[in-house]
C-alpha cells in the first residue's frame, strides 16, 4: 500500500531540510508520495522537482496563512493548497504579499526582543532562514542559540513568541483563499482544523460554509489532533462529502514528528489529483 505524506516543510519556509534534502529524506523514509507545502511560498518547488528521486511522486503545494472573523475576535487558520498554477496572477500576488508581511512581522518581533535586551540580531535570523521565507521558527533558533530557551516549542510559549513578543500578521480571508486556489486550478484542504492544543479553533459551521464554497478536504490525522479530534474531523468530512487526509506536518528538527508519521489513504490522494487542473504531480 502506498505511503503518502501531504504536508511537509523545507527551508523555503520554516523547515530545516532544503527542498532537495526533503525529497531525498522522503524516499529514505519509504514514502511513495510527498507534498512540499511551505508557508505562503512555492519557492522550493523547482529545487524539489530537480532532486526528486526515482520512485517518489512529488505533489507541489503550499500552506496558506488565512483568517476568519473580525479583528481580535478572528481566528487564524491554515489551508493546504495543492497542484495550483503558481503563475495565476491574483494568487501569485497574494502569496507575495503574505511573504512580505511575514518578513516585516519577524523584523518587528526581533526589534521588540532587542529593545528588552535580548542578544539576537535580524541578520542572524535571516541567516537561519537561508534565503527562504522568514518566520517565527527562525527567531526561535536565535533564542535557542542565545541559551534563553531549549526548544522551538518553548520559544513559542506565552513568555516569548506566543504572547509577550507576539506581533499579528495580515492573512488571507479564508473564503477568498479557497476561491483563489480553485481559480488557479488547485484544491484546498483545511490543515489541522481541530488542533485545540494550538489555540482557538473555528466552529463546524465555518467548515460547512467553506465546503459550500469549494473546500475540498480536511486534514484529520495530524500530530496535534487527539483521537477524539480525529474522529470528529472524519465524521464531519463524511457528512459534508469532503476528502480526508493525514500528514506529518514535517519541519525537520523544528518538530519531533517524522516524515510519514501520519499518511493519506490512496483513494483520498487520487481524489485530490483528479480534481486539480493547475499543475500535474511529478512522478
* Domain locations in the chain as residue ranges: 4-97+169-275, 103-155
Residue 255 confidence class, pLDDT cut points 50, 70, 90: confident
For residue 206, pLDDT beyond 90: yes
Confidence tier at 144 by pLDDT (50, 70, 90): very high
Residue-wise pLDDT tens digits, 219-251:
999 999 999 999 999 999 999 999 999 999 999
Confidence of residue 168 (pLDDT cuts 50, 70, 90): confident
Statement: residue 130 has pLDDT above 90: no
Q: What is the mean pLDDT of residues 6-13?
A: 96
Instruction: Please name the residue that has the C-alpha cell 516585516.
Output: 104
What is the pLDDT at residue 131? Answer: 81
Question: Could you name the CATH architecture of 4-97+169-275?
Answer: Alpha-Beta Barrel (3.20)
pLDDT of residue 142: 94
- The domain defined by 103-155 folds into DNA polymerase; domain 1 (1.10.150)
User: What digits encode the pLDDT tens for the residues 78-110?
Assistant: 999 999 999 999 999 999 998 889 899 999 999
Q: What percent of the chain has pLDDT over 90?
A: 84
Q: Which residues contact 206 (CB under 8 A, 6 or more apart)?
A: 68, 174
Q: In terms of residues, how long is the chain?
A: 283
pLDDT at 253 over 90: no
Residues 159-177: what's their mean pLDDT? 92
Closest CA to 221 of 5, 28, 75: 5
Confidence (pLDDT) at 135:
86
- Asked if residue 1 has pLDDT above 80, the reply is no
Q: Flag the least confident range among 125-129, 174-178, 179-183, 204-208.
A: 125-129
Its pTM stands at 0.92
Amino acid at each position: 500500500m502506498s505511503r503518502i505524506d501531504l504536508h511537509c516543510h523545507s527551508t523555503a519556509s520554516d523547515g530545516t531540510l532544503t527542498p532537495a534534502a526533503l525529497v531525498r529524506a522522503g524516499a529514505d523514509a519509504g514514502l511513495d508520495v510527498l507534498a512540499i507545502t511551505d508557508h505562503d511560498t512555492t519557492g522550493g518547488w523547482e529545487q524539489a522537482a530537480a532532486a526528486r528521486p526515482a520512485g517518489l511522486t512529488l505533489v507541489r503545494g503550499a500552506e496558506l496563512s488565512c483568517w476568519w472573523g473580525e479583528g481580535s475576535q478572528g481566528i487564524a487558520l491554515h489551508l493546504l493548497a495543492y497542484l495550483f498554477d503558481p503563475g495565476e496572477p491574483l494568487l501569485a500576488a497574494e502569496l507575495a504579499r503574505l511573504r512580505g508581511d511575514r518578513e516585516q512581522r519577524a523584523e518587528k518581533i526581533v526589534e521588540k526582543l532587542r529593545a528588552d535586551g535580548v542578544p539576537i540580531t535580524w541578520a542572524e535570523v535571516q541567516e537561519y532562514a537561508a534565503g527562504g521565507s522568514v518566520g517565527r521558527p527562525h527567531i526561535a533558533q536565535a533564542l535557542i542559540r542565545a541559551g534563553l530557551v531549549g526548544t522551538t516549542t518553548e520559544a513559542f510559549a506565552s513568555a516569548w513568541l506566543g504572547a509577550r513578543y507576539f506581533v499579528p500578521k495580515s492573512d488571507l480571508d479564508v473564503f477568498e483563499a479557497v476561491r483563489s486556489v480553485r481559480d488557479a486550478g488547485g484544491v484546498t484542504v483545511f490543515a489541522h482544523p481541530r488542533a485545540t492544543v494550538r489555540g482557538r479553533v473555528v466552529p463546524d459551521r465555518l467548515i460547512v460554509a467553506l465546503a459550500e464554497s469549494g473546500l475540498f478536504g480536511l486534514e484529520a490525522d495530524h500530530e496535534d489532533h487527539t483521537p477524539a479530534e480525529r474522529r470528529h474531523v472524519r465524521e464531519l468530512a463524511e457528512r459534508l462529502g469532503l476528502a480526508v487526509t493525514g500528514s506529518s506536518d514535517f519541519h525537520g528538527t523544528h518538530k519531533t514528528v517524522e516524515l510519514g508519521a501520519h499518511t493519506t489513504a490512496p483513494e483520498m490522494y487520487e481524489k485530490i489529483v483528479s480534481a486539480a487542473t493547475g499543475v500535474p504531480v511529478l512522478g
